[in-house]
Amino acid sequence: MGCPDCERIDLLPAASGTLYLAPVLAHTRAALRQRMVDEQLPCAEPTSGILALPVAGTGGLGEMLVRLEQALSSSEQAGCRATFVPEGENFGLGHLQDTHLLSTLIARHNARDLAAILANDALDFHFQPIVLASDPSEVFAYEALVRASTPAGDPIPPPELFKTARNAELLFHLDRSARINAIRRATERRIGSRLFINFNPTAIYDPAFCLETTVREINSRPADRMGPSGFVFEVIESDQVTDIEHLSRIVERYRRAGFQVALDDLGAGYASLNMLSQLRPDYVKIDRELVSGISGDIYQQKILDKIVELARDLDIQVVAEGIETVDEWRWLKDRVDYCQGYLFARPAAEPPLPQHPEPA
């Protein structure tokens, strides 16, 4: 079971045609009309409140979107619906599925590098070990961390990559591609331990359909590789999740497939603490902000002790991430189950072996 539309990446058409704009506010309509006059761009109003901008030639739509981005404020762009109708077609009901905010079409034009990465399946990954707290030389798992570069070879910072995807309504495509390629790169690099894979719940609409490609990818792995129980799907941006029922359905789908689940950034806000008791994940990851300098901060220590106590009561294992100093590890090693951070190893394309902070 799958959804063919989930695998389609909608690129902006290069043909000639007409860009129809439907500003919500009269102010935006007036501003658009005036911009068209100032820019000496032809603009018709085929019906009240709808503006029609002719687009000519290859690249014409992109050029038009660049000019509109320059002419309108971000709020004006977000307050205007837009759709493109190729030359020779009349606007009909079928075009409704290709209607977006003007800001989204502009973001799609600006996301050409991301679209090329997704179309060419060009995401790569670095891996960082998660180690036993009591013995950091022992690898418990690896976390897959997405990496991407422009077609010209320039690296794209992951936060920028996901921001671009969100603005262009390509977050689902990026999240799906990241899950699948994390599994493939781990298989190629023969990672035999558990693998933590990030996912964004806001990018998953219907777990029964949206997660099926991930399940199939894992089940298609060679028999000598770790099975479903060796995969831990980690909820990222958990402090921003508002629909816990939806997240619960996602977690249940993963568990039915035999996977485990982790909740990240615990301690970053009340929302993640609230989810702890409702979702009962297999692992929680303590937020870096709480870990940093914990050896010398009594308030951080008290908060972490309470989180660990709650996790123990719920039979949840605890990972402290972002550890960078020996003092942080020394304070944490007898309290948490696992550790992760630059102190032990930095992420790398070839899964690195951790360094013990106190070599014999």
**Distance from C-alpha of 186 to C-alpha of 144, rounded to nearest angstrom:** 8
**Distance from C-alpha of 298 to C-alpha of 296, rounded to nearest angstrom:** 6
**Distance from C-alpha of 207 to C-alpha of 118, rounded to nearest angstrom:** 21
Name the strand (E) or helix (H) holding 78.
helix 74-78
113 CB burial (10 A radius; 0-12, 13-18, 19+): middle
How many CB atoms neighbour CB 231 within 10 A? 25
Look at residue 250 in the predicted model and tell me its pLDDT: 83
Strands (DSSP E) contained in the chain are: 17-23, 44-47, 50-55, 80-86, 100-101, 124-132, 139-149, 155-156, 194-199, 231-235, 260-266, 283-286, 317-320, 338-339
- So what CATH class is 115-339? alpha beta
* Lowest mean pLDDT, pick from 5-9, 18-22, 340-344: 5-9
**Distance from C-alpha of 182 to C-alpha of 194, rounded to nearest angstrom:** 12
**Distance from C-alpha of 357 to C-alpha of 332, rounded to nearest angstrom:** 13
Q: What is the pLDDT of residues 189-233, one digit of tens each?
A: 988 889 999 988 776 666 656 677 777 887 777 655 667 888 999
Question: pTM value?
Answer: 0.85
Structure confidence at residue 246 as a pLDDT band (50, 70, 90): confident
Q: What is the pLDDT of residues 151-197, one digit of tens each?
A: 888 999 999 999 999 888 888 889 889 989 999 999 899 888 899 99
